[in-house]
Structure 1
């Protein structure tokens, strides 16, 4: 039986905070009535009460109309977002050892849900439950937990490690498409329990990030993981460079992913972990080119539209007004 802790790490709120900020939600809205500050969420050792976490998540739910927000936040949560907990998982030798490390540290990372795992019949089985009375909060917490488990599994083993099955103890929601996007397996709603099924081979797979010194000497854990994570490709910068490589041509997410030797699914997830979307990077690059051509050339609006990857001047003008709050002609005139 899972024991619930009255104190959890504030860092468990960090990914939710950055994701909501990306949606334009002010930090003050999320932190209202929690007694927390933005600095608290950046402190990997700050402990908060479950009530503070509960109030934070209720603020979050009330601040968005996105029904799948729990799935979206969980899917973007990398192991490094979980601080020492996630780092400890990465330094273990196998998936099973990482799972046991998670179990040992679960109390201070409890996301207001009851989580347990078992190994039976050649399966690794995750069971997720929530006793929250508010149905919106309960769904958010369960969806976030499920998506986090799958995102972290793919981070450790690659996207080929998909669950065999997902069962859920609630009716099919309207945003079922988000489930299919994140869980590449059969999905069954209105079942007795909410459970993720993985093949037991998951338990014995070696982790490329295994670090015996970090396992033995917890004092060096953060430094060890920092070196590992800092060596990763900066996918945001790589996408920006790809979009700038050839004037007037903007490769798709799929083409950029191919050039980075990863799937589009992996690139999409890595961008999400940085709270960035491909479309935002594309718009930034188009806007940068448009402003430069408007201010420094005599090209007409149709010519600039083509250079920015638009089929006609009308679509370009609509996009530019969305970016800058004025038409291209108005922007050019205002800078004279």
Structure 2
């Protein structure tokens, strides 16, 4: 049975269109470029498929030339931007309970990411991870949106005097990274070797601080309604594409257990779904690793030793042997062929 495609609510992209229109951007032209009917944005409960999200983001980047659109959209998102769930979040007793609630119903905010929350006596951690494969540009836009929306909503809840906390982003530092440094209590960390995602770390003082609009009855009513509509997210039918995307997006060593932990499912579940597509994690990992090797070897000034180090091989000789088994030529021969336009 094919899994239902994951979607994202149009309400967040309506914020982007409103922002761009205020900047003088022709949003009618933008939607034409993305091949999305403007009528899709007339209903607050409208949804976009991942391919439509991708088309919209690509069109926005092309039309504006800006790389910080995700940053700007995230700044516009407030708690009440999340429709009914947002009011339940505002009505929680404290941040700890709000994060627990959000982790249960994150798919009402977006089905393209999941959220896992863990609490220890002195701190808590929320992890946002993608559950669909997406291109690099779409991924980084989405991570920008999530990181800035989290920062914006926490500042609205606690004000500028809140204690410092950390947001770790599994992506390279963007061109606009200096803008992150000016965001008050939030300390942003970029890591291009980590799996794509966002990790929010907060101490006990923030987690247990009471909310002024606490109403357990409102939270209960909203939860009862959401439970009747609940559809838990999972990767689309293309598990191979999804796992390959995670591997490509991380320059560090990625394990099956690491991906399973990030998705909050078992490694056996991932392995079983890959087998349905006649795939296995080891082969996918090797395929992506040597795709990356070809890219690195093709860069100007690349050396075999340096590429071996970047890919985590113990030495250049081991890398050369593995590359030859995979590609049929040594890394040096590959570079010569690629340089002459005769690469394999």
- Short-chain TM bin: 0.5 to 0.7
2 CA distance for matches of 1:164 and 1:4? 36
Map 1:1-336 → 2, pairs under 5 A: 6-32=6-32, 33-37=34-38, 40-110=40-110, 112-120=112-120, 122-130=122-130, 132-182=133-183, 184-190=185-191, 192=194, 194-218=198-222
Superposed displacement of residue 148, structure 1? 0.4
Q: Does the 8 Å contact 1:7/1:49 carry over to 2? A: yes
1:18 is paired with a residue whose SS is helix
Sort the Cα spacing of 1:189 and 1:49 in 2 relative to 1 into closer, same or farther, 3 A. Answer: closer
Superposed displacement of residue 71, structure 1? 1.3
Aligned residues: 217
2 CA distance for matches of 1:100 and 1:119? 9
Q: Once superposed, what is the RMSD of the aligned Cα atoms?
A: 3.0
Sort the Cα spacing of 1:175 and 1:45 in 2 relative to 1 into closer, same or farther, 3 A. Answer: closer
Q: What does the per-residue CA deviation read over 1:107-143, in whole Å, with 9 as the maximum and x for residues that have no partner? A: 1321633433322362222323446542222111101
Sort the Cα spacing of 1:172 and 1:155 in 2 relative to 1 into closer, same or farther, 3 A. Answer: same
Sort the Cα spacing of 1:5 and 1:21 in 2 relative to 1 into closer, same or farther, 3 A. Answer: same
1 CA distance for matches of 2:24 and 2:180? 24
2 CA distance for matches of 1:188 and 1:48? 30
Q: What does the per-residue CA deviation read over 1:30-63, in whole Å, with 9 as the maximum and x for residues that have no partner? A: 433454425x435333344333333222322222
2 CA distance for matches of 1:116 and 1:42? 32
Q: Does the 8 Å contact 1:92/1:98 carry over to 2? A: yes
TM-score, length-normalised on structure 1?
Answer: 0.56
Superposed displacement of residue 186, structure 1? 4.2
Q: What does the per-residue CA deviation read over 1:239-265, in whole Å, with 9 as the maximum and x for residues that have no partner? A: xxxxxxxxxxxxxxxxxxxxxxxxxxx
Superposed displacement of residue 162, structure 1? 5.0
Q: Does the 8 Å contact 1:14/1:81 carry over to 2? A: no
Sort the Cα spacing of 1:206 and 1:196 in 2 relative to 1 into closer, same or farther, 3 A. Answer: same
2 CA distance for matches of 1:85 and 1:208? 17
Superposed displacement of residue 154, structure 1? 1.5
- Matching residue of 1:331: none
2 CA distance for matches of 1:108 and 1:185? 25
Q: Does the 8 Å contact 1:90/1:209 carry over to 2? A: yes
TM-score, length-normalised on structure 2?
Answer: 0.55
Q: What does the per-residue CA deviation read over 1:288-331, in whole Å, with 9 as the maximum and x for residues that have no partner? A: xxxxxxxxxxxxxxxxxxxxxxxxxxxxxxxxxxxxxxxxxxxx
Sort the Cα spacing of 1:201 and 1:137 in 2 relative to 1 into closer, same or farther, 3 A. Answer: same
- Matching residue of 2:291: none
Q: Does the 8 Å contact 2:160/2:184 carry over to 1? A: no
- Matching residue of 2:299: none
Which 5+ residue runs of structure 1 have no aligned equivalent?
Answer: 222-336
Q: Does the 8 Å contact 2:143/2:169 carry over to 1? A: no
Sort the Cα spacing of 1:58 and 1:218 in 2 relative to 1 into closer, same or farther, 3 A. Answer: same
Which 5+ residue runs of structure 2 have no aligned equivalent?
Answer: 226-344
